[in-house]
């Protein structure tokens, strides 16, 4: 077994919820991420899935070192990332890059895209002007754009092309991991597959690992080697993607899965309707956080919190239905 590239151990992020401005009182804590652990191996993709508000972006931001964990550790190549400063922090930023849902968030509208792509190379004194320009042309080609488009501004690109530019910028420093936070959610359905295929091709060429964040299972199915399903800050199911899709166990994952199936008429094997809204993470339900929406809810579900148990090799589930598995 090779060492994981990235290791996340017992990660928590609790945001204080306050009232008042001058003499703010803390009313409680939003447990945005509440004891999350997973590994990502070099060159592999981990899919992180769950409805909006379950803590995916907060997890991503901690991995990107943009947010300090309340508890827990993140290790890249066995080195903890907390407290990184100066050159060590720059080196980390070069190794762990990101592409966000909205490409505008990473593109300066007043900067030619070639300059945006070159930014991390310039910051890291990567080479002279000529060498950097050549690298920018190479990156544009790698993401399926034309080298001369380096001279254009973001508004001259379509949404899909802007996302390709954001990807080229992320690839510039030859990262080991790219955090992809809902990279296709804002794109037209018709061009999503192209972007996903491009991501796959780049991974095959560069051996880069991805943390692929998505709110649906369909997006991760053909991309992720392993999939982690989150609900209200907790992992409810974690498995190699193949074994997850062959044998979905957790009621929440089943509900997410049937939401996919509904989109395929004639495939109504086991449709589960997910009722109600996600409860507030400020006051998460007691016991199993899914008990307010679960079709299989039992008396103990509101009392006792289920822990992750292995149901088959590498496949773990947090649900009382599997207590004696
Ligand atoms: N800076 C913040 N301050 C307070 N609460 C936050 C902050 N960022 C996120 N949250 C809350 O944490 C929870 C998880 O949010 P997020 O990580 O963005 O979820 P997701 O990406 O899965 O939609 C949400 O309830 C959100 O409102
Ligand atoms: S622990 Fe109970 S409420 Fe939670 S998912 Fe399992 S059966 Fe449903
Ligand atoms: Mg998010």
pLDDT at position 325 is 60
Mean pLDDT of 253-280: 64
pLDDT at position 281 is 78
Mean pLDDT of 62-71: 97
Ligand 1 lined by 53 (C-beta under 6 Å): yes
Interatomic CA distance for residues 52 and 274, integer angstroms: 14
If you take atom 24 of ligand 1, which residue's CA is the nearest one? 53
If you take atom 16 of ligand 1, which residue's CA is the nearest one? 55
Separation of CA 60 and ligand 3 centre (Å): 9
Mean pLDDT of 65-84: 96
Say whether pLDDT at 268 is over 50: no
Separation of CA 324 and ligand 1 centre (Å): 34
Separation of CA 217 and ligand 1 centre (Å): 20
Separation of CA 298 and ligand 2 centre (Å): 7
Query: 55: pLDDT confidence band, cut at 50, 70 and 90?
Result: very high
**Pick from 15-19, 52-56, 145-149, 186-190: least confident:** 15-19
Q: What are phi and psi of 300, to 5 degrees?
A: -70, -15
Task: Kindly list the protein residues whose Cβ atom lies closer than 6 A to any atom of ligand 2.
Answer: 251, 288, 290-291, 294, 296-298, 301, 306, 319-321
Atom of ligand 2 nearest to the CA of 252: 5
Tokens of 210: 């991805």
pLDDT at position 264 is 44
**Average pLDDT for the chain:** 91
Largest CA distance in the chain: 68
Atom of ligand 2 nearest to the CA of 306: 1
Tokens of 260: 């996919």
Ligand showing the shortest atom-to-Cα distance for residue 51: 1
Q: How far apart are the first and last CA of the chain?
A: 26
Say whether pLDDT at 262 is over 90: no
Atom of ligand 2 nearest to the CA of 302: 3
Query: 274: pLDDT confidence band, cut at 50, 70 and 90?
Result: low
pLDDT at position 20 is 78
Sheet of strand 6-19, all strands in order from the earlier edge strand to the far edge? 25-40, 6-19, 71-76, 79-80
- Of 1, 31, 3, residue with least CA distance to 15: 31
Interatomic CA distance for residues 103 and 170, integer angstroms: 11
Atom of ligand 1 nearest to the CA of 58: 17
Over residues 97-138, the pLDDT tens digits come to 999 998 777 799 999 999 999 998 888 788 899 999 999 999
Handedness of CA 8, 316, 46, 240 (dihedral sign): positive
Mean pLDDT of 181-196: 92
Separation of CA 281 and ligand 1 centre (Å): 9
Say whether pLDDT at 86 is over 70: yes
Ligand 1 lined by 31 (C-beta under 6 Å): no
Separation of CA 174 and ligand 2 centre (Å): 43
Tokens 């803590």, residue located:
55
Higher local confidence (pLDDT), 324 or 101: 101
Ligand showing the shortest atom-to-Cα distance for residue 33: 1
Encode the chain in three state secondary structure.
CCCCCEEEEEEEEEEEEEECCCCCEEEEEEEEEEEEEEEECCCCEEEEECCCCCCHHHHHHHHCCCCCCCEEEEEECCEECCCCCHHHHHHHHHHEEEECCCHHHHCCCCCCHHHHHHHHHHHCCCCCHHHHHHHHHHHHHHCCCCHHHHHCCHHHCCHHHHHHHHHHHHHCCCCCEEEEECCCCCCCHHHHHHHHHHHHHHHHHHCCEEEEEECCHHHHHCCCCEEEEEECCEEEEEEEHHHHHHCCCCHHHHHHHHHHHHCCCCCCCCCCCCCCCCCCCCCCCCCCCCCCCCCCCCHHHHCCCCCEEEEECCEEEECHHHCCC
Mean pLDDT of 69-91: 95
pLDDT at position 279 is 83
Mean pLDDT of 171-188: 95
Atom of ligand 1 nearest to the CA of 59: 17
- Nearest-10 crossing angle of helices 159-171, 129-142: 130
CA within 13 Å, CB half, 79: 10
Question: pTM for the full model?
Answer: 0.93
């Amino acid at each position: 077994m090779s060492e994981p590239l990235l290791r996340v151990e017992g990660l928590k992020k609790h945001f204080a919820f306050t009232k008042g401005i001058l003499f703010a009182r803390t009313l409680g804590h939003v447990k945005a991420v509440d004891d999350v652990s997973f590994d990502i191996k070099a060159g592999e993709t981990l899919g992180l899935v769950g409805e909006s508000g379950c803590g995916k972006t907060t997890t991503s931001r901690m991995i990107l070192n943009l947010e300090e964990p309340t508890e827990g550790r993140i290790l890249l190549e066995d080195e903890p990332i907390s407290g990184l400063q100066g050159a060590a922090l720059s080196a980390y930023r070069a190794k762990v890059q990101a592409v966000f849902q909205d490409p505008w968030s990473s593109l300066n509208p007043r900067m030619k895209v070639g300059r945006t792509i070159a930014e991390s190379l310039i910051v890291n004194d990567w080479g002279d002007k000529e060498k950097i320009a050549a690298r920018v042309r190479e990156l544009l080609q790698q993401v399926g754009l034309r080298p001369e488009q380096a001279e254009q501004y973001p508004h001259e690109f379509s949404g899909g092309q802007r996302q390709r530019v954001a990807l080229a910028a992320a690839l510039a420093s030859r990262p080991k991991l790219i955090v992809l936070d809902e990279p296709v959610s804002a794109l037209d359905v018709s061009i999503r597959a192209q972007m996903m295929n491009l991501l796959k091709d780049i991974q095959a060429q560069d051996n880069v690992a991805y943390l692929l964040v998505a709110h649906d299972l369909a997006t991760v199915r053909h991309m992720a080697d392993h999939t982690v399903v989150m609900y209200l800050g907790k992992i409810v199911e974690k498995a190699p993607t193949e074994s997850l899709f062959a044998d979905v166990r957790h009621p929440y994952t089943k509900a997410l899965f049937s939401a996919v199936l509904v989109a395929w008429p004639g495939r109504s094997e086991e449709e589960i309707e997910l009722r109600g809204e996600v409860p507030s993470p400020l006051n998460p339900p007691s016991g199993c956080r899914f008990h307010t929406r679960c079709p299989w809810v039992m008396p103990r579900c509101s009392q006792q919190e289920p822990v992750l148990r292995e149901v088959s090799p590498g496949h773990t589930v947090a649900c009382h239905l599997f207590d004696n598995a």
